[in-house]
Structure 1
């Protein structure tokens, strides 16, 4: 039954991932868009902490984790997002539903293999500046698209406490932006359309370690390193005069100029280090830090003098508690209760202000009775950006649902 669910979901969600508009952030205009969290609902509910060597959950943050899987594991998850974007003078609300990941993990003894699809970044904004003043130019900006990652990773278990791994990620996607400029009462305006087709490859290497403090307590550590890489952007630009009606429906396009170019976007190496302490299948508390140098994500169509890309850094603290893993009398005692706090310096700097993200996460892991599979629910409240320097602040709330489905696929027959 689980195999049928996996095949059906793969066919459906692989199509959805290319068409979704996964953000409503005005900051997604810059760089390659709003970079999404890379990980499952279980990890996200603990603010990104994923340090324990888990045998039934996929860890998308470290390829070494694939070596710890004991069952064939299928993971998929999505998020419903509500965001209030506010400035000093007004606020607007937006809602989005998005796919977060689709992944499969396969155990082969000391070797584990993982593969899947992750939407890495999203572009999705609609901004208007319209007045009745005939001497003022009105503007409207739209953007959509993003970058996806298809990955294949291998983990190897050196011994019961130490595993290593590596993965390759193929990046692909497109970003489309439109800007319209016009004067109130004049039915003809100017339009600029940009399209960027993105492609490239990058690699991760990782290691995970576990050690016993005593009969109950373990300490865990995880290291993941992303190598420096380049993303190729094939750009096309179309500048035209357009006629529009009161509903801003464009028609009668008169093309003034068309341009094409190829740009190389440089991404620096990134390192993530996690550590934690806990009692297996009972509780865990851990922390994570991540860092990378300044990048060069600006493209031709979104390069601006008031925008820069600095160093990225993040700090998070999270953990879980499970009252009684083996309880038969109480379902509530078998639920996993998760929580965490995060602070992220995105690296984006606009008008001299660093765009930071602060959030609180909570979650529940609900076992599916009679199986080793589970449904995971995550909640996240946070704030991104600032109203200083003429910018906007995003207050967001996310509800995420993920499935971790497990089964034995490769069982050697003892009788013919």
Structure 2
């Protein structure tokens, strides 16, 4: 059995290695949005493909077929000797509009890789990686003041940013009594963000000016989770869940630089390195609280609703250079909130005649309020999700296909409206460890 499992994992890593290598060598946008200018960029939606296809719910989910990383207590929902692995890909498509201006962008990226395994009786663990936040934008404009243009010629400005923060995590859960599960997760967050501004002159006698910030960041966070499952009717049960993530201080360095260029000669006018660990202005990742309730009939169907709140107002990101305003964009800090709902159903997972009846069908909806504001306006997003999990033969492994369609921002209050359609692919593998076969 172990030999078969080793072959499967080896094949998986062989398939993934070229993708990891290409991602490491290319400096491309993992995400793209003008709203990612502020702070540490866009916060990534957590969860695997099956979570995303149900509107992002999972705080109260207990499903033996999938790894649920939204609540560390959920890892105890499994067969006693079952090993699980999940690998996800994400592809995004966005159209932006502000006034008469329109643009579009596409991205593609690895989203997660997670494994889960039993430890002892009612104790189980999981480990993996997933994006934490993404930075990606490029804005070009021209200065049209006639008094200034008449003296120095045409002036163009370009602001761009790229990079991401990733998280490596390990968690464990245990079930002390029937129906009750508790868990804890440790996460190490790390990555580099680059924010650049370039001012160029059409008159070659003037120097172009380059400025910006290079952020090399890291943090350590801890998350706790609880779930309680109890029957309410014939075959129908309810699971309530809650999670709490502690606030974490960002560490690392911020380089504030400025230099001018003319005839290939570079003159540095500013290069200041700030050690965040020693700085009086502490930057923190906000604490987070989430609750959820799930009504389900075994693995046949489930309906869930979640609420998440994370107060970033005391994070300090609106005051420290490198995190605060970029160019003329007047960003402010806000509380992140999210309301999510989802539903899933399997017509008949044991049907031997019709494959479509063994497919899991999902749908969901959500509303998000971003952790930043623009010109005092809240940046809200809403969308709907759909997805299916296609079973592989008669195993509990499968391929999940999901779509997320929605809108962020609006055309009011000087905001930019983003319309997006995101596609998610998840591959979940399940196998049994240490199973002693009676026949060879």
How high is the TM-score relative to the length of structure 1?
0.93
1:224-243 residue pairs with structure 2 within 5 A?
224-243=243-262
The one of 297, 307, 319 aligned to 2:317: 297
Tell me the SS of whatever aligns to 2:233: coil
Q: Quote how far apart the aligned CAs of 1:75 are.
A: 0.5
Partner of 1:331: 355
1:27-176 residue pairs with structure 2 within 5 A?
27-50=35-58, 51-70=60-79, 71-108=82-119, 109-130=121-142, 134-135=149-150, 137-176=155-194
State the alpha-carbon separation in 1 of the partners of residues 360 and 114 from structure 2: 22
Q: Deviations over 1:20-53 (max 9, x none)?
A: 5221101111110011111011000111111231
Partner of 1:316: 340
Tell me the SS of whatever aligns to 1:340: strand
Q: Quote how far apart the aligned CAs of 1:2 are.
A: 2.0
| Equivalent pairs, count | 410
Q: Deviations over 1:347-389 (max 9, x none)?
A: 2111011111111111111101132200000101111122223
Tell me the SS of whatever aligns to 2:421: strand
State the alpha-carbon separation in 1 of the partners of residues 347 and 242 from structure 2: 29
Partner of 1:203: 222
- The 3 A distance-change label for structure 1 pair 15 and 390 is same
- The 3 A distance-change label for structure 1 pair 375 and 139 is same
Q: Quote how far apart the aligned CAs of 1:288 are.
A: 0.4
- The 3 A distance-change label for structure 1 pair 166 and 58 is same
Q: Is the contact between residue 267 and residue 297 of structure 1 (CA under 8 Å) also seen in structure 2?
A: no
1:234-383 residue pairs with structure 2 within 5 A?
234-243=253-262, 251-263=264-276, 264-293=282-311, 294=313, 295-298=315-318, 299-304=320-325, 306-383=330-407
The CA RMSD measured in Å over matched residues stands at: 2.2
The one of 366, 369, 387 aligned to 2:411: 387
Q: Quote how far apart the aligned CAs of 1:286 are.
A: 1.2
- The 3 A distance-change label for structure 1 pair 243 and 79 is farther
Q: Quote how far apart the aligned CAs of 1:402 are.
A: 0.5
User: Is 1:190–2:196 an aligned residue pair?
Assistant: no
Unmatched tracts of structure 2, length 5 or more? 1-6, 277-281
Partner of 1:404: 428
Q: Is the contact between residue 42 and residue 378 of structure 1 (CA under 8 Å) also seen in structure 2?
A: yes
Q: Quote how far apart the aligned CAs of 1:14 are.
A: 5.4
Tell me the SS of whatever aligns to 1:42: helix
Q: Quote how far apart the aligned CAs of 1:17 are.
A: 6.2
Q: Is the contact between residue 237 and residue 259 of structure 1 (CA under 8 Å) also seen in structure 2?
A: yes
Q: Deviations over 1:197-239 (max 9, x none)?
A: 0011000000112111122211111111101211114111221
Q: Is the contact between residue 40 and residue 323 of structure 2 (CA under 8 Å) also seen in structure 1?
A: no
Unmatched tracts of structure 1, length 5 or more? 245-250
Q: Is the contact between residue 84 and residue 116 of structure 2 (CA under 8 Å) also seen in structure 1?
A: yes
Q: Is the contact between residue 317 and residue 323 of structure 2 (CA under 8 Å) also seen in structure 1?
A: no
Q: Quote how far apart the aligned CAs of 1:13 are.
A: 5.7
- The 3 A distance-change label for structure 1 pair 200 and 302 is closer
- The 3 A distance-change label for structure 1 pair 126 and 10 is same
Q: Is the contact between residue 47 and residue 317 of structure 1 (CA under 8 Å) also seen in structure 2?
A: yes
